[in-house]
């Protein structure tokens, strides 16, 4: 058993409490390789922002559980070397079983999500409660989810949103003991969040209704990539084929960050940024075959994107 505390990581309790009070949100950036991790840490050290390093079950399989443990420890040391000891959380994204959450905790995660959002309400409560009881023994924080996002969540695909029902949140939080709650208010995973012609809008009215029921309780937004159109255009300019990809407008996320939304999940925008940079090198310098010559620019573009998110969207700069 590796305790996250020995790796220099923190759980999410204190940084969420500060974020809710301060009217900003902590970035939760997904990663599964070294360049992504470097970009996240460089961006958050330079902006002095707390950060959540987020790992999906697919990413854990891809990167390997043991390597991830050392990468997270490396991230803490790397941040110090870069000159600022920012709070770093290692978080399991969309945990789908008690066993996976338990295993992540044993491998040094400081926070886990148990996503029972596809289950009937009572089963979601029972599973989430079981994970909370286990995790809290080790001072690991737990995120639960109520409501279903449209789109693909790991292997589960929902055609349309099932918005979180504000009348359920108080009971869910009380019965499960979770530390934060992911809600469904119109965000969704991936790069195709709205259909062409649809107005890209999230339901801030539902968010405010939820906040009234559980004042000050940490709220999480998944599926919060904005799918920057300049990056999409760059990908397509360099031979890509992304059609009708639309994300969440950044001003709406900025608005949500000012409320009890204290964690915003961004993965797809990072994937797009890396892809654009790699494609550019492949087209402009077809003679290159040193991975550093395309992964380096990809890392730089990622870092630039993350700094923009921290400063202009989440408002978590200078909060470390
Ligand atoms: O919510 C999903 C995240 O974007 C992770 O995606 O399961 O492909 O790693 P993944
Ligand atoms: P995006 O696909 O919008 O980046 O969402 C990521 C996410 O919610 C990870 O859990
Ligand atoms: Zn998600």
Eight-state DSSP code of residue 142: E
Which alpha helices (DSSP H) does 47-147 contain, by range?
57-63, 65-82, 98-106, 121-137
For the cut 90, the answer to whether the pLDDT of residue 151 exceeds it is no
For the cut 90, the answer to whether the pLDDT of residue 285 exceeds it is yes
Give the count of beta carbons closer than 10 Å to the beta carbon of residue 160.
10
The reply to whether 93 belongs to the active site is yes
Q: Tell me which ligand sits closest to the C-alpha of residue 272.
A: 2
Centroid of ligand 1 to alpha carbon of 206 (angstroms): 25
As for ligand 1, residues whose beta carbon falls within 6 Å of it are 30, 56, 58-59, 93-94, 154, 189, 267
pLDDT of residue 150: 85
309 lines ligand 2 (CB under 6 A): no
Give the global pTM. 0.97
Q: What mean pLDDT, rounded, does the chain reach?
A: 97
Ligand 2 pocket test target in 117, 145, 192, 224 with most atoms within 8 Å of CB: 224
Strand, coil or helix: 68: helix
Give residue-wise pLDDT tens across range 19-30: 999 999 999 999
Give helix 121-137 / helix 98-106 axis angle, nearest 10°: 20
Per-residue pLDDT band at 238 (split at 50, 70, 90): very high
189 lines ligand 2 (CB under 6 A): yes
Architecture of the domain defined by 4-314? Alpha-Beta Barrel (3.20)
Give the span between the Cα atoms of 118 and 127, in whole angstroms.
12
Which residues, including other chains, have CB under 8 Å from residue 146's CB and lie 6 or more apart? 117, 124, 164, 165, 168, 169, 172, 181, 182, 183, 184
Centroid of ligand 1 to alpha carbon of 154 (angstroms): 6
Give residue-wise pLDDT tens across range 288-307: 999 999 999 999 999 999 99
Question: Hey, where are the domains in the chain?
Answer: 4-314
pLDDT of residue 161: 86
Q: Which of 303, 261, 265, 225 is nearest to 92 (CA)?
A: 265
């Amino acid at each position: 058993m590796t305790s996250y505390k020995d790796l220099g990581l923190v759980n999410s309790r204190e940084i969420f409490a500060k974020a809710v009070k301060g009217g900003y949100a902590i970035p939760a950036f997904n990663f599964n390789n070294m360049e992504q991790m470097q970009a996240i840490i460089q961006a958050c050290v330079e902006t002095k922002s707390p950060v959540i390093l987020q790992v999906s079950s697919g990413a854990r399989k891809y990167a390997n559980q043991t390597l991830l443990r050392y990468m997270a420890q490396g991230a803490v040391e790397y941040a110090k070397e870069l000159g600022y000891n920012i709070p770093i959380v290692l978080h399991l994204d969309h945990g789908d079983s008690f066993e996976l959450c338990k295993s992540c905790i044993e491998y040094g995660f400081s926070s886990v999500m148990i996503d029972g959002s596809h289950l009937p309400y009572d089963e979601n409560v029972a599973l989430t409660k079981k994970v909370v009881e286990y995790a809290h023994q080790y001072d690991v924080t737990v995120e639960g989810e109520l409501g279903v996002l449209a789109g693909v969540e790991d292997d589960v695909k929902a055609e349309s949103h099932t918005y979180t029902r504000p009348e359920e949140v108080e009971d869910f939080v009380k019965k499960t003991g979770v530390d934060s709650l992911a809600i469904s208010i119109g965000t969704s995973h991936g790069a195709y969040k709205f259909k062409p012609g649809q107005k890209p809008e999230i339901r801030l009215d539902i968010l405010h209704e939820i906040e009234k029921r559980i004042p000050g309780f940490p709220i999480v937004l998944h599926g919060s990539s904005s799918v920057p159109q300049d990056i999409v255009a760059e990908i397509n300019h360099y031979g890509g084929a992304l059609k009708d990809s639309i994300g969440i407008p950044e001003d709406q996320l900025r608005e949500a960050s000012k409320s009890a939304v204290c964690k915003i999940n961004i993965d797809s925008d990072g994937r797009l940024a890396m892809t654009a940079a790699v494609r550019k090198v492949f087209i402009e310098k077809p003679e290159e075959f040193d991975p550093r010559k395309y992964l380096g620019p990809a890392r730089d573009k990622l870092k630039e994107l993350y700094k923009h998110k921290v400063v202009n969207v989440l408002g978590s700069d200078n909060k470390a």
